[in-house]
């Protein structure tokens, strides 16, 4: 296929979306307390800047759900774990927790650029970390009162060899996918379940506030131009279902970012909604805020150990 020159740069950027997780500097192991007497952020160690070309900021005032018991004398440790498509979600969620629950927050920010499932699995299996930013992830998880986890980037080793999953054409919007069979997601489901299980172990089987979040699609408009929307939508729906199935096995509440960003029919453009910055990949401040609000609206019920 010949790619139009005016779309070349866009496709290069899109190729980094969620499943390939951009290789820009990650926020890694930055730990922040978002609680001060003035309600401002206090960063303990420096973190790279999230892309900020043209950001649509939230305008509506968020109203905290009723019935939340304030615990102002406590500190919550929150871990947000996924690829760079979680940039901004960690801080937005922490701010709402402080507002609605009244606790101080210590934030483990593990939204890692170029994340692979192998990186998370290796560190939880006490092997040599393949991603340096995850080196102290087990320690952070052991102290976590809240864990929000996505699909852990590209499932590089979470693939069934005899039924390889291949969505590269969808990611780059250059053609129909080669294989998006749901059966090709079985190993990813198994790996995600392993990670959830390890979180329970690291928490000594204490009830913990756990939430699962799926993927979104940034390049709907290019899919439409290429006539691959139906085929690629099925691929991303299978990926989303894998994240949901793994979470539901442990009765972990699941939030479909796919439904929020792309609509319940998964055919809406999140760029038009202002949910992405102008790189066409990462969430804007508005996009991060919308998901943070949905997570808070789900409440703070802890998930008991299996």
Which pLDDT value is given to residue 159? 64
The Cβ of residue 250 has, within 10 Å, a number of other Cβ atoms equal to 18
Is the model's pLDDT at 17 over the cut of 90? no
Is the model's pLDDT at 186 over the cut of 70? yes
Is the model's pLDDT at 204 over the cut of 90? yes
φ, ψ (nearest 5 deg) of residue 265: -95, 0
- Range in 13-22, 168-177, 222-231 with the lowest mean pLDDT: 13-22
Determine the average pLDDT of the residues in 199-217: 96
92 CB burial (10 A radius; 0-12, 13-18, 19+): buried
Whether the CB-CB separation of 291 and 195 falls below 8 Å is answered with no
**In DSSP terms, which residues pair with 252 in a beta bridge?**
none
**What dotted CATH number matches 5-297?**
3.40.50.1110
**Which of the pair, 54 or 177, is modelled with greater confidence?**
177
pLDDT digits (tens, 9 = 90+) for 32-67: 333 333 333 322 223 333 333 344 556 668 888 888
Handedness of CA 236, 79, 282, 93 (dihedral sign): positive
Domain ranges of the chain: 5-297
Q: Residue 71: which pLDDT band, with cuts at 50, 70 and 90? A: confident
- Closest Cα to residue 124, out of 64, 201, 51, 177? 201
pLDDT digits (tens, 9 = 90+) for 142-163: 999 999 999 987 776 666 666 6
CA 287 to mean position of chain CA atoms: 12
pLDDT digits (tens, 9 = 90+) for 91-118: 999 999 999 999 999 999 898 888 888 8
The Cβ of residue 72 has, within 10 Å, a number of other Cβ atoms equal to 10
Whether the CB-CB separation of 141 and 147 falls below 8 Å is answered with yes
Which pLDDT value is given to residue 162? 67
Q: Is the pTM of this model over 0.85?
A: no
């Amino acid at each position: 296929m010949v790619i139009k020159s005016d779309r070349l740069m866009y496709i290069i950027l899109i190729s980094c979306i969620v499943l390939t997780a951009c290789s820009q500097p990650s926020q890694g192991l930055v730990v922040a307390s978002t609680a001060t007497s003035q309600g401002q952020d206090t960063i303990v160690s420096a973190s790279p800047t999230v892309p900020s070309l043209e950001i649509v900021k939230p305008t509506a005032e968020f109203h905290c759900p009723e019935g939340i018991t304030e615990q102002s004398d406590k500190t919550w440790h929150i871990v947000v774990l996924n690829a760079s498509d979680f940039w901004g979600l960690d801080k937005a969620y922490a701010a709402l927790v402080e507002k609605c629950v009244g606790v101080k927050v210590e934030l483990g920010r593990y939204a890692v650029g170029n994340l692979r499932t192998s990186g998370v699995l290796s560190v939880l299996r006490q092997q040599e970390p393949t991603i340096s930013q995850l080196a102290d992830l087990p320690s952070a998880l052991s102290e976590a009162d809240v864990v929000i986890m996505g699909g852990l980037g590209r499932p590089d080793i979470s693939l069934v060899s005899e039924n390889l999953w291949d969505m590269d054409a969808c990611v780059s919007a250059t053609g129909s996918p080669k294989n998006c069979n749901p059966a090709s997601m079985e190993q990813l489901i198994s790996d995600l379940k392993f990670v959830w299980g390890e979180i329970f172990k690291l928490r000594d089987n204490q009830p913990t506030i756990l939430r699962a979040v799926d993927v979104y699609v940034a390049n709907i408009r290019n899919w439409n131009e290429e006539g691959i929307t139906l085929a690629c939508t099925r691929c991303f729906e299978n990926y989303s279902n894998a994240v949901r199935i793994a979470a539901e096995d442990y009765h972990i509440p699941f939030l479909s970012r796919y439904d929020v960003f792309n609509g319940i029919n998964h055919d809406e453009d999140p760029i038009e909604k202002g949910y992405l910055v102008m790189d066409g990949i990462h969430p804007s401040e508005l996009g991060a805020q919308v998901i943070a609000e949905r997570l808070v609206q789900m409440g703070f019920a802890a998930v008991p150990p299996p």
